[in-house]
A and B are shown apart, each in its own frame.
Chain A
Amino acid sequence: MSLRLLRVARQRLRALVQRNAVDDELARELSFHIEQLKQEFVEGGMPEREAELAARRAIGNIPLIEEQSRDTRAVGWLHDLHQDLIYGARMLRRNPGFTIVALASLALGIGANTAILSVLDVVARDQLPIPRDDRVVVVRTYPLDDPAQETHARIADYFAWRDETRTFALMGAAMGHNADFGAEAGTPAERVSGQSITTESLATLGVQPLLGRLFTEDDEAVSESAPTRVILLSHRLWQRRFFGRSDVVGQQVRLDRVNRTVIGVMPDTFRYPSEQTNYWIPLRMDRSQFRNPQRFFVVTARLKDGVTVDQAQSEVDAIAARLARVNPEMNEGWGVRVKPVREAMFGWTRARLYTLEAAIILVLLVACANVAGLLLARGLVRGPEIALRSALGAGRGRLVRQLLTESILLSAGGGVLGLAVAWAGINTLMAMNPPPGGVAIGDVALSLRTLGATAAMAIVTGLLYGIAPALVHARPSLTTLREPSGGSAGRHPRLRSALVAAQIAVTMVLLIGAGLLMKSFLRVTSRDLRFDAARLLTFEVRVPPGDYMRRRGTIAGLPYFEISPPPAIAFERMHRGLKAIPGVESVAGVSTQLLNSLVVPSATITLDARALDSNEEGVSASFAIGVGANASHLDERRTLTAAYFLVTPDFFTAIRSPALRAAISPIATLTAASGWRSSTRAQPVGSGQTRIRLDRRSRS
C-alpha cells in the first residue's frame, strides 16, 4: 500500500513541477494514436487526406481530452489557485474605489479583534511568577444578601480558617499599607503604597527574591518600635528610587519617619497583589485584635496536593456556618468564597475584555455584511464576464472557487492592514493601562498566536462575506451577456434585503451599546459639580501619623488613638508659600477631598425658621456639594443630616462655586440647637473668622 502511495505522490509531484513535460507526453501519445488510426484507414483503402480527418474525428475533442486528463492529476486546483490569485489581484487593482472601501472596513474589523485578542491572550495566560499557581487560592468573604460584593477577611476569620482547615497546606494574610518614603540623597520624599504581609503569605506564593532574602518569623516578631525593622522592595521601586543598585540590600530607608533595613528586592514579575505595590513589610497577626470587625486582610492559601478548590470551599463553608452560630453578631450573613488566585486577580479585567471582544466581533460582522453588499452590487458589473466564462465551459464550482479566492485575497489584504490597526490599538490600550486601582496587564505585543488568529480571521471573514455573493454570481444567465444592466443582484432582492437587515440589526445593537456607554460617561463628566473644575488643582497633605497619633488602647477590638492636631501655623506657612507661586490665583484648604472621598463626616443640623423661609433650597444645595451618596434630608423636625467639610474662608472663591455664593448667608444663620451634649466649633485655618458653625452629637 505504501509503495502505491509513494508512486501516487511521485506522479502528482511530477504533474506539479513538470507540468509542460506531462502535457507534452499526452500530446505525443495522442499523435501516435492518430497516426495509427490514419494508417489503418489508409490500409482500408481511404485516401490519405480523408483518413487523417476520419482519425481526428474518431479520437474526439483533443483540448477536452487534455483538460480531462489534467483534471485526473488532482493538482489542478493549485494551478487554478495561482491563476485566480493573479486574476483577483488584477480585478482589485482595477476597482480602486471598491477595494479601498472594502479593505478599510476589513482592516478596522480584523485589527480591532486582533488587538483585543492579544490583550485577552496575555490576560488569560499572564505570567504569574507563582509556581503552580493553580494550587494557590484567595479566600474572601461576601455579604450573603449581595454576593457580588466580595471583601476580604477579618482577623478572626483568618485564624479560624488557618487553624481549623485541613485542605490548605499554607495560609497567609496581607493588607494594604501606605507610607511616606523620606527624602534621601537624590530622591525626594514621596508617598508610596505597599503591603504588610505575613511570612506564610510569601511562602504560599512561593516566590523567591531577586536580591537578598525574604522575611523570617524573627522579622515578624519584631515590634513596630524596635530598630531592627525590615522592608522588601519591589523591582520597580528599586529601579526608580534606588537606580537598581545591588548594594541596596542592607541599607537603611526611612518609612514614615522610622528606619527600616532593606533585606531584599523582589523580581520584576512579582507584582502582588497589584502593579501599584511598591514594598512589603512584615505583618504580625495579633490575636488581641480578635474582635476587630474590619475586613481588610487579604488571605491567600496554597491547597494541599490532590485537594480541589471545591473541597476547600465546602470546608470553609462549614467553618462560616459554625462561626455564624457561635458569634452571630459578627458573622451572621457572611459567606466565604475560595477562588483560584489567577481568577481573583484577573477575573474583573477579563470579564470586561470579553464584553469588549463581543462588541468588536459585531463590528467585524458589520464589516463583513458591508463588503458582501459591495460584492453583490459589483455583480451587476461582472455579470457579462461571468456569463462569458460560463459559456466557455467554466462550471459553477469553478466560478464559485474563483470568486471565493478573490474574497479571501481581499480579506488577506484587510488582515495585513488590520495588523497595523491592531498595533496602534494595542499601544492605545497599553497607554490607558494600568487604570488606577485595577490589576495591570503585563506587556502585550503581537505574538505568533495572535498573528495566527488574525490569519484565521481573514480567511473566515473572506468565506463569510464571499460565499453568498459567489453563489449568486456563479449562477449566470446568458441574458446578462446582452444586457449588462439587468444583473444578478436584480434577481436576488431577497439576499440583498437579508444582508441589509442583518447589517442594520447588528449596527443597532452596537449603537445601543455605544449609546449606553456614552450615557454613563456623560453622566460622570457632565454632572453639575456646582463648581468650576477648570484650572483647579487639588492635592493632599498628610502628616506623619506617628507624630500626631498616640495609641491609647483598644475599644471593641479597634485600636484607639489620641490625636493632637498639627499647629495652625504649619498650615499657614504652607498657605503663604503656595500663594507666592507665580500663576496661582487663590489657595484654599478643605478637610476632605472633594468628589474623591468615600467617607465624609456628617452632622445633624437644625435650621431656624428664618433660614428655612428665606432660602431653603440654598441650604440643601450648599450641602449637596460633592456629597452624592449622603444626600441631605430635611425632616419635619427641621433638622437635616448633611456631610460637611471644614474649609478656609477663600475656599468658595477658589473653587468658584456660584451656588454657594447664593447660599452662604443662610448657612451663616444656622445656630446651635439645644440638647446636644457637646458642640464643636469648626475653626477655619489661617483666619480668625468663623463662617460655619456645626453642631455634632458626640458618641459615647
Chain B
Amino acid sequence: MPKPSDLLQGTLDLLILKSLVREPLHGWAIAKRIQLLSDEVLSVQQGSLYPALHRLENQGWISAEWKSSEHGRDAKVYELTRDGRRQLTRELESWNRLSSAVGLLLQRA
C-alpha cells in the first residue's frame, strides 16, 4: 500500500513550519491554514498532521504550550522556535532549488 505521506513527508513539515511563521497556532488552525493557503488544492489527511507536529516538536523546531482557545477549550498551541525559523529557511532554500531544477528539467524535456 503506497503511503500518501510518502510524497508529503518533507513537504508537510515545510508547510507546517511555514504556517507558523506569523503566529502560534493549534493543530486545527494549522490544518485550516494549510487548506486556505493552498486554495484547497492540497488537502492534508487531517490525522497525519499530528504525528508530524509531534515529530517537529521532538526535533526542537517547534515548541508547544496548552492555552485556552477562543472557544474556551484548552488547545495545544504550537510556536516556531528560533532553530525552527533557521530550519525553515534551510528547507525553503532546498525546496526552491529542487522545484526550479525540476521545472527547468520539465521545460527542456
Chain A positions near chain B (C-beta within 8 angstroms): 1, 3-5, 7-8, 11-12, 15, 25-26, 28-30, 32-33, 35-37, 58-62, 64-65, 68-69, 71-74
Contact = CB atoms under 8 A, between A and B. Distances in A.
Interface of B: 26-28, 31, 45-48, 50-51, 54-55, 57-60, 63, 66, 69, 73-76, 81-83
Given A5-B60, A8-B60, A25-B66, 14 more contacts: A4-B60, A4-B81, A7-B60, A8-B58, A11-B57, A11-B60, A15-B58, A28-B76, A33-B28, A58-B46, A68-B48, A69-B54, A72-B54, A73-B58
Given A5-B60, A8-B58, A32 B50 contact: no
Contact of A60 (B45, B57, B76): B45
22 contacts: A7-B60, A7-B81, A11-B58, A11-B60, A12-B58, A25-B66, A26-B54, A29-B75, A32-B26, A32-B27, A33-B50, A35-B73, A36-B28, A60-B45, A60-B46, A61-B47, A65-B47, A69-B50, A69-B54, A72-B58, A73-B54, A74-B58
Contacts of B57: 11
Given A32-B27, A74-B58, A7 B50 contact: no
Given A1-B83, A33-B27, A59 B46 contact: yes
A26 B83 CA distance: 24
Contact of B50 (A8, A26, A73): A26
B60 A72 contact: no
Contacts of B46: 33, 37, 58-60
A59 B76 CA distance: 17
A73 B58 CA distance: 6
Contact of B59 (A8, A26, A36, A62): A8
**Which of A1, A35, A59 lies at the interface centre, i.e. has the most chain B CB atoms within 10 A of its CB?**
A59
A72 B47 contact: no
**Which of A7, A30, A62 lies at the interface centre, i.e. has the most chain B CB atoms within 10 A of its CB?**
A7
A8 B74 CA distance: 24
Contacts of A4: 60, 81, 83
A32 B50 CA distance: 12
B76 A25 contact: yes
Contacts of A74: 58
Contacts of A29: 26-27, 50, 75-76
Contacts of A1: 83
Nearest to B29: A36
Interface of A is mostly: helix
Nearest to B60: A4
B77 to A, nearest CB: 11
A32 to B, nearest CB: 6
B47 A28 contact: no
Contacts of A35: 73
A98 B54 CA distance: 44
Contacts of B45: 60
B79 to A, nearest CB: 12
Nearest to B82: A3
A358 B50 CA distance: 56
B20 to A, nearest CB: 16
A74 B58 CA distance: 8
Contacts of B47: 30, 59-62, 64-65
Rank and list the top 8 A-B pairs by shortest CB-CB distance, nearest first: A60-B47, A72-B55, A68-B51, A4-B60, A59-B47, A4-B83, A69-B51, A65-B47
Contacts of B48: 60, 65, 68
B27 A7 contact: no
A671 B85 CA distance: 116
Contacts of A25: 66, 76
Contact of A7 (B63, B73, B74, B75): B63
Contacts of B51: 65, 68-69, 71-72
A59 B54 CA distance: 16
B66 to A, nearest CB: 8
Nearest to B55: A72
A3 B31 CA distance: 28
Nearest to A56: B47
A71 B76 CA distance: 20
Contacts of A36: 28
A25 B63 CA distance: 14
Contacts of B50: 26, 29-30, 33, 65, 69
Contacts of B74: 28
Contacts of B82: 3
B12 to A, nearest CB: 12
B83 A32 contact: no
Contacts of B73: 32, 35
A73 B63 CA distance: 14
Contacts of B54: 26, 69, 72-73
Nearest to B61: A4
Nearest to A65: B47
Contacts of A7: 60, 63, 81
